[in-house]
Amino acid sequence: MKLLRFLFGKKTNAHTSTLSDMKYLIAGLGNFGIDYANSRHNIGFDVVEKLAADKNAVFTSGRYADKAEFKFKGKTFILIKPTTYMNLSGKALKFWIEKENIPLENVVVVTDDLNLPLGKLRIRKNGNDGGHNGLKNINEVLQSNEYKRLRFGVGNNFQVGKQVDFVLGKWDKTEAPIVANNVTRAAEAVTSIIMEGIERAMNLYN
């Protein structure tokens, strides 16, 4: 109920509202732990790590997520890497949305997408989960899909029944340079969403 009141009618004064409008939550989805590092399913982590590195921001351990924060041209970027594992990503988003008093329209989720070619970016204002368990859990916990998302294509070069092995697998030598270049583009795309607006970002990066 607390989250619902916040999303659909929590009373705030003008000063609080203005401050909230300048804060943005960027959640990179993935699985926590060294075993999952540099895997296809963790591309969301890679993108927010790139954002943080570019601004010399450092991740520290927080509740349900590692968190980094920086300010850029009057806006506050709050980056999280949920430590709940992919299928419970909504728990981390709900906590940080409430803790930082961030409107849902100021939330950007970065995730992998099997339905897009390797390195292809797709920005959307909202939408369904597309079969992605992380997005599915977020939609269920927030009871809304009205948040922005950036999907990063990882391709679908796997045999029938091998999807889990594929998404949890590491990038091969031919994929790694493509991924590195497009992680940079994805970080730029997130910045564009926040600084220029989603319509402009979609025109530039989709």
pTM for this model (two decimals): 0.88
Q: What is the mean pLDDT of the chain?
A: 90
What are 68-103's pLDDT values in tens digits? 999 999 999 999 999 999 999 999 999 999 999 999
15 is catalytic: no
| Selected catalytic residue, list 41, 81, 122, 151 | 41
What are 45-54's pLDDT values in tens digits? 999 999 999 9
Domain spans in the chain, listed from the N-terminal domain onward? 2-205
Which CATH fold would you assign to the domain 2-205?
Rossmann fold (3.40.50)
Residue 10 has pLDDT above 70, yes or no: no
> pLDDT-based confidence at 125, cuts 50/70/90?
very high
What string of DSSP letters covers the chain? -HHHHHHTT----HHHHHHHHTEEEEEE----SGGGTTBGGGHHHHHHHHHHHHTT---EEETTEEEEEEEETTEEEEEEEESS-GGGHHHHHHHHHHHHT--GGGEEEEEEETTS-TT-EEEESS---TT-HHHHHHHHHHT---SEEEEEE------TT-HHHHHTSBP-TTTHHHHHHHHHHHHHHHHHHHHH-HHHHHHHH-
